[in-house]
Structure 1
Amino acid sequence: MTRSTGTSAWLDLPAQDVSAVMPFYSGLFGWEAEDLGEEFGGYRILRSEGELVGGAMSVAGMTCPEGSDLPSEWGVHLAVDDVDARVAKAREAGGGIIVPADDIGDSGRMAVVLDAVGAPIGMWQPNQLDGYEFTGKPGSPVWFELMTHRYDDAAAFYTAVFDAELVPMGEGTDEGGDDVRYATNGSGESASWGLCDAAGMMPEDAMGWRVHFGVESTEQALASVRELGGSVLDGPVDSPFGRITTIADPEGASFRISAMGEATTEG
């Protein structure tokens, strides 16, 4: 595998009506969707300008253990060297199993676990498919982060299960930072995702992993979101990492857009 254990590798969208929601993403990001057919349950591979972004699938008729419909929400998968061994580590670290380890054709082997703070997280052991392509271009994934009220528990889980190397924001620099605890898995350009202590910032039911996609222009993207039936949940917010807005697609699956060319400087 070319990605090291614990780095972001894949993302996908389970949707109640994947055919109905795909035009939203095609219109917003210009994605093309390839249906893999019945053998893979109608799973769709998503590309931006021919480069891999992630996947989407229908969960119509599928329910949670308590009987409610499975929600439409973006899921994140981290690279692992051995899915089965890492699932065992997840159990030992206080996690649970949502989707047991299974082979996905000759693409790789996957599982989805519940981490120690209650957030679903996928595992991807690549074979023929290494993962999405790191491009940084508009329409591609540019960042991932876990928001939690239990920062220390999350840090312990991802360190034990995914070999995370968490670096507190501003460590080793002259930046004073603020009162929010935020760490990245890796430092500088090697960072692949973030962990945020969201206690006091967000309600408990909003916790979990969230995905950021790059856009060229915030205003153009927001106009498209509204025209295509989506909604703005929060923002835009200016930051040194881009102008960031939280969006919901027509089924309510949330994600963030980041116009990195509109980043502000601190000071």
Structure 2
Amino acid sequence: MSETSVTNLSATPDQPAVTVGSPVWIDYTAVDFPAQRAFYEALFGWTFEDQGEEYGHYMMIRKDDATVGGAMDAADLPPAPEGMPPAVWTVYLKTEDIDRTMELVAEHGGTVVNEPMDVGPLGRMAIVESAGGEALGFCEPGEFPGHDLPLTPGTSVWFEVMSTDVAADAAFYRNVAGWDVVPMRGDAPDDGAAGDVDPGAAGEGPAYATNFADEDSTAGLCDATQWLPEGTPSFWRPYFQVTDMEEAVRVVAEHGGRVVDGPMDSPFGVVASVLDPAGATFQLNQPPRG
């Protein structure tokens, strides 16, 4: 997470329209769904609203008046391909033309996993694998604009790629999603001209970059090679805000989850890396006080 992301983590501005290339939706799929649902209800106070048979019993996750994302019981889906994790959070980036985006995915080293599908009048969605190997979604909104980002406890406040091939991913997101790929301070050249960095060059890439500059940033790209065990594939992860990290960690353990890193202090507050009972990863963030 870069210093430019502090706005997303600690402020509560009026919510502007989501820009192209920014996360517009997240959803969660898991086996043994009732147990996972109980975990998130206890941790964040979420409610899960079944949208009915018309939408395959897809559930809307809500925190008070905010729509956090969606959820699906893996039992309601066709059997997953061998090797798929039992639970996963998927981040969807906004596009205005999902068919053209799928063409760009193929042209720039990615793979289309699930072709674009209509979700009633709400929009169109697709799942791909990036050039760096992580799964992500793209969404072309229709009548439904996407998730709410009030930046309050129990809602998402940041999103990032933990990449094991940051050069490939930097080029992929620049060409497919329209990212600027702005290195965080310390990764840019001495004169601060981030545009002089070629994050798509072979063997090169920022240790951490944001999709856009400064207050326009909505997601990050992290070189995770020094953090992840060898052989771990790249992945996206969301950050969810909590009021009291100590209490959140207690609830995680009490309901079958596990803290795998932290809690630790950062310029953006206290951060911890968590696995839910089914093994899906996400981050907790307690913003700075005062």
Q: TM-score with structure 1 length normalisation?
A: 0.91
What is the deviation of 1:238?
1.1
CA distance in 2, matches of 1:169, 1:69: 33
Which digits, 9 at most, give the CA deviation of each residue in 1:18-51, with x for residues without a partner? 2331111111101111001121111100011121
- 2:208 maps to 1:191: no
Q: Which runs of 5+ in 2 are unaligned?
A: 1-15, 193-204
Which digits, 9 at most, give the CA deviation of each residue in 1:181-233, with x for residues without a partner? 11001122211000011222212415211111000111011111112221111
Runs of 4+ with deviation above 6 angstroms: 172-175
Kept after mapping to 2: 8 A contact 1:215/1:258 = yes
What is the deviation of 1:68?
4.6
Kept after mapping to 2: 8 A contact 1:28/1:225 = yes
- 2:163 maps to 1:148: yes
Correspondence for 2:241: 214
CA RMSD of aligned residues (A): 2.2
| Secondary structure in 2 matching 1:73 | strand
Correspondence for 2:252: 225
Among 102, 105, 127, the residue aligned to 1:112: 127
Larger RCO (CA under 8 A, 6+ residues apart): 2
Kept after mapping to 1: 8 A contact 2:245/2:285 = yes
Kept after mapping to 1: 8 A contact 2:133/2:233 = no
Kept after mapping to 1: 8 A contact 2:134/2:233 = no
What is the deviation of 1:174?
9.5
Kept after mapping to 2: 8 A contact 1:216/1:261 = no
- Identical residues among aligned pairs (%): 38
Mark the CA change 1:69 to 1:90 in structure 2 (over 3 Å): closer, same or farther.
Answer: closer
| Secondary structure in 2 matching 1:221 | helix
CA distance in 1, matches of 2:69, 2:190: 34
Kept after mapping to 2: 8 A contact 1:59/1:70 = no
User: Aligned pairs, how many?
Assistant: 259
| Secondary structure in 1 matching 2:57 | coil
Correspondence for 1:251: 278
Mark the CA change 1:169 to 1:69 in structure 2 (over 3 Å): closer, same or farther.
Answer: closer
CA distance in 1, matches of 2:206, 2:189: 17
Mark the CA change 1:88 to 1:196 in structure 2 (over 3 Å): closer, same or farther.
Answer: same
Q: TM-score with structure 2 length normalisation?
A: 0.84
CA distance in 2, matches of 1:4, 1:172: 27
Q: Which runs of 5+ in 1 are unaligned?
A: none
Correspondence for 2:97: 82
CA distance in 2, matches of 1:206, 1:113: 14
Kept after mapping to 2: 8 A contact 1:77/1:121 = yes
- 2:104 alignment partner AA: K
Kept after mapping to 2: 8 A contact 1:62/1:69 = no
